[in-house]
Structure 1
Amino acid sequence: MVLRWRIWNCLRSARPKLRSSKSSKITIRAMIKGFFRCPLDVTGRIDKVLADQFPEVSRTWIRKAIEEGRVTRSDGSKLEPKTKVFPDDELMVDLERPSCSPIEPYDYPLKILHEDDHLIVVNKDSGMVTHPGDGTSADTLVHALMHHCPDQLCPIGAPKRPGIVHRLDKETSGVMVIAKSEQAYHSLVSQFSDRKTQKKYCALVSGQLSGTEGEFNGAIARHPKVRVKMTVAEHGKPALTTWRLIKRFEEGFSFIDCEIKTGRTHQIRVHFSNASNPIAGDLTYGFKQNGKSPVFFSRVMLHACELSFSCPRSSERLTFRAEIPDDLELALQKLTPTE
C-alpha cells in the first residue's frame, strides 16, 4: 500500500508536465505495476493509452493484461481493450511479464553464428527440441539458451518459449534465430508471418526425382487419424516448396536444396513424402531403411542451411549459413554419384 501511494504521489506531482517534461515521462514509464491515473490531456481506448504511456511494453502484451484482468478500475471492475478512458480515471495496472527462471539452465555447447543485444542466431543440432512441451526433457534449445545468456531472452512467450519466433523439428539441424529484445521479437514475428524471410534447406531424399528442379504446392493440414502427422489435403493451408537437384546417387537417392515460401509444420517432409520421395531417415513419413544400403540413417536427413531476414534495428538484410553437419556429409560420402 505504501508503494502504491508513493507511485500515486509521484504521478500526481508530475501530471501537469506529462507532455513537456521528459523526467515525468520516465517516471510513468518506469512504473509497470501499481496505481495509475490517466493524464489530463489523454482520452481514448485503454489499450492505446497504456501503449503510449508505456512504449517499452508491446500493445499485444497490454491487451493480454487487460483481458486477463491485470488492468482494472481502482475499484477492481474489469475493462476491455476497447474501453474508453478519460483524464483522471484511476486504474490498477500490472504489466509485468513472468520471469523466465522456471526453466532450468542446461550447459550445452551451442554453435553460435551471431549474437548481439537484440538477437542470437544458432546452428541447432539434430536431436535437440526447440522449446519445452509435453513429454520433453530439460535439454531443449531454450534450456541451453537460458544457460548461455541468462535473463537476456525476450520475455514474450516465457516461461517455455522466451524469444522463440520460429521452430525446427527435433531431428532437423540448422539455422535458427531467437529474439532477445521485444523490438527484435515483433520484427521477426512479422517478417516470418509476412513471408519476408528466406529459408533454404538441403536434404537427401529417396528415389530419383524427375527433372532438375520443381515445386510442390499442395495445401497442408493435420492428418485426420494420426494427430502428430501432417498431410496434403484440399482443405489445408496453402504451402509452397521449391527444389533444385544437386546430385543423384546410384543407390536411389537424390541430394537437393529447397526453399519454403510458407512455414507449415513438417512442410518439406510432407511435400516430398506426398511425391513418393520421403526424406532419408524419415520413418514418420514413409521412408523404409534398405538393409543393403551402405548408409544407415539415424535421423531425418534435413538441414536448414541458410536463413535471411532484415535486421530489426537497421533493416539491413542479414544472411546466416550453417555448414552441412557431419552425419549428412558422411552419408553423402558413402553413396555413389551417378554420371
Structure 2
Amino acid sequence: MADQPFEDPVEIIEIAVEEAAAGTRLDAFVAAKSDRCSRSRFKALIKEGQVAIGGRTIVEPNYRVNAGERVAVTLPPPEDPTPEAEAIPLAVVYEDDDLIVIDKPPGLVVHPAAGNWTGTLVNALIAHCGDGLSGIGGVRRPGIVHRLDKDTSGLMVVAKTDAAHRGLSEQFADHGRTGSLVRAYRALVWGCPAHMAGTVDAALDRSAGNRMKRAVVKFGGKHAVTHWRRLARFPNDPAKEALACLLECRLETGRTHQIRVHMAHIGHPLIGDRDYGAGFATRANRLPEPARARVSAFPRQALHAGVLGFRHPVSGEVLCFESPLPADFVDLVDALEASLASH
C-alpha cells in the first residue's frame, strides 16, 4: 500500500501536559504517554505536521512542552502489510516449479518497506508468480532469499516453495565455502589497486555516525571478506596514472553494502556511490570529455551482480547464470575507455 495523505476517518489522541513533564521534548513526551507508536514514528508524524498544541501545528520534534498544554496527535490508518501484484516487467533468466532467477534493473527496490510500499520487485513477482512464492520470508518478502541494493543491478534467485527457500538459504548462509554458491560482481572504481588481485578481510558494523550506513570496525562487527581482481584499467597505459578501473569482486560473505564499504576502505570507492565515495566525486573533473560528463551524471553506484551460481535445492543440479553489464554501465565504461585512450 502506498503512503497516502491522511484522510477521514482518522484517529486523534489528546494528551495533557502535567507539571512534571514540562520541558520535555515533544517526541519524547508523546512516546512516553502513548504506546501506539515508537518514538521514531512519533518524530516522523511531528515532522509531517500531524501534531498540534492548542490548535497550532508543531513540526519540531525538539519543541519543549509546557505544563497545561494539550497535545493532539493525528494517527494515520494502519498500513496494509500485504504487497499487491503490480504489472512491472521482469527479466526472467530461468524459471521452474521451485525457483526463479531474475536480472534486476538498477533503481528497483527488492521488497516493500517504509517509503517504498509499491513498485518493488516483490510486487512484480506476485504478479508474475501469483501465490506461487515461498512464505518463509513473510508477507512483505515472499520468496526473497537474498537482496541487492536498490541501485545495484544484476542476478537474484527467488524461491517459489518453502523447500527451495530453505535449501537456498543454507547455501547463502554457507557463503559458498563448502558448496556451489558463487556470486561475482563487476565494480567500476576510482583509481586502481597496485596489484592484479587481492582480498579485503575487514569486519563490518553499523556506522557510528549514520546508522543507515556500514563501516569497517576493528572490534566486534560481522566477519566480511571480499576477493577482487582487476579486469581493466583506465587508461590502459601503465606509464600513466590510473584514474579508474574495472574490478571483479567475489563475495565470501554477504554483508549489507559489503563491496561498497570494502572498496572504499582500500581507497577505491565505487564510481557513483554517494554514500561511500562522496569524497571522490571531484575526481571526475580530472577526466577528459565525454567521460567527465558521463561520470558526473551517473545516478548510481557502478555495481552489477554479473554471475550467480548455486546448487538447485530440489534437483541437486549445479546452475550458473551470467548477466551482461547493463546499458548505462556499458556506456560509462566505453566513455572512460575512449576518453582516456589518448589522454
TM value normalised by structure 1: 0.68
In the alignment, is residue 102 of structure 1 matched against residue 79 of structure 2?
A: no
What corresponds to 1:72 in structure 2?
Answer: none
**Deviation sequence 1:83-138 (CA, Å, 0-9, x none):** xxxxxxxxxxxxxxxxx993111111110000111000000010011111122140
What corresponds to 2:216 in structure 1?
Answer: 232
Cα RMSD (Å): 1.7
1:29-108 alignment to 2 at 5 Å? 102-108=82-88
SS in structure 1 opposite 2:275?
helix
What corresponds to 2:334 in structure 1?
Answer: 333
* Structure 2 contact 183–250 (Cα < 8 Å) conserved: yes
Give the partner amino acid of 1:111. Answer: A
Give the partner amino acid of 1:115. Answer: E
* Structure 1 contact 248–338 (Cα < 8 Å) conserved: no
What corresponds to 1:19 in structure 2?
Answer: none
Match of 1:277 among 241, 265, 268: 268
**Deviation sequence 1:239-273 (CA, Å, 0-9, x none):** 11011101111371101111010001100000001
SS in structure 2 opposite 1:147?
helix
* Structure 1 contact 294–334 (Cα < 8 Å) conserved: no
In the alignment, is residue 216 of structure 1 matched against residue 200 of structure 2?
A: yes
Match of 1:246 among 211, 215, 231: 231
SS in structure 1 opposite 2:167?
helix
What corresponds to 1:131 in structure 2?
Answer: 111
Alpha-carbon distance in 2 for matches of 1:114, 1:221? 34
Alpha-carbon distance in 2 for matches of 1:101, 1:243? 39
Higher relative contact order (CA 8 A, sep 6+): 2
What corresponds to 1:193 in structure 2?
Answer: 173
SS in structure 2 opposite 1:335?
helix
Task: Among all aligned residue pairs of Structure 1 and Structure 2, give the percentage whose two residues are the same amino acid.
Answer: 41
* Structure 2 contact 137–143 (Cα < 8 Å) conserved: yes
What corresponds to 1:320 in structure 2?
Answer: 321
Alpha-carbon distance in 1 for matches of 2:226, 2:81? 38
Alpha-carbon distance in 2 for matches of 1:276, 1:259? 18
Alpha-carbon distance in 1 for matches of 2:222, 2:169? 19
Unaligned runs of 5+ in 2: 1-79, 236-241
Alpha-carbon distance in 2 for matches of 1:145, 1:170? 16
Alpha-carbon distance in 1 for matches of 2:203, 2:328? 31
Alpha-carbon distance in 2 for matches of 1:108, 1:140? 8
SS in structure 1 opposite 2:230?
strand
* CA apart distance, 1:154: 0.8
Alpha-carbon distance in 1 for matches of 2:81, 2:202? 41
Alpha-carbon distance in 2 for matches of 1:243, 1:323? 18
SS in structure 2 opposite 1:193?
helix
* Structure 2 contact 99–159 (Cα < 8 Å) conserved: yes
**Deviation sequence 1:139-165 (CA, Å, 0-9, x none):** 110001011111111122231001111
* CA apart distance, 1:208: 2.0
What corresponds to 1:261 in structure 2?
Answer: 252
Give the partner amino acid of 1:172. Answer: T
In the alignment, is residue 152 of structure 1 matched against residue 132 of structure 2?
A: yes
* CA apart distance, 1:338: 5.8
What corresponds to 1:76 in structure 2?
Answer: none
* Structure 1 contact 294–335 (Cα < 8 Å) conserved: no
What corresponds to 1:302 in structure 2?
Answer: 303
SS in structure 2 opposite 1:304?
strand
* CA apart distance, 1:310: 0.5
Unaligned runs of 5+ in 1: 1-99
Query: For structure 1, which segment, 243-252 or 168-177, has the greater mean C-alpha deviation from structure 2 after superposition?
Result: 243-252
Distance 1:101 1:286, change over 3 A: closer
Q: How many residues align?
A: 240
Give the partner amino acid of 2:136. Answer: I
SS in structure 2 opposite 1:285?
coil
What corresponds to 1:122 in structure 2?
Answer: 102
**Deviation sequence 1:193-217 (CA, Å, 0-9, x none):** 1123111000100112211111100
What corresponds to 1:25 in structure 2?
Answer: none
**Deviation sequence 1:31-77 (CA, Å, 0-9, x none):** xxxxxxxxxxxxxxxxxxxxxxxxxxxxxxxxxxxxxxxxxxxxxxx
Distance 1:278 1:221, change over 3 A: same
Give the partner amino acid of 1:281. Answer: G
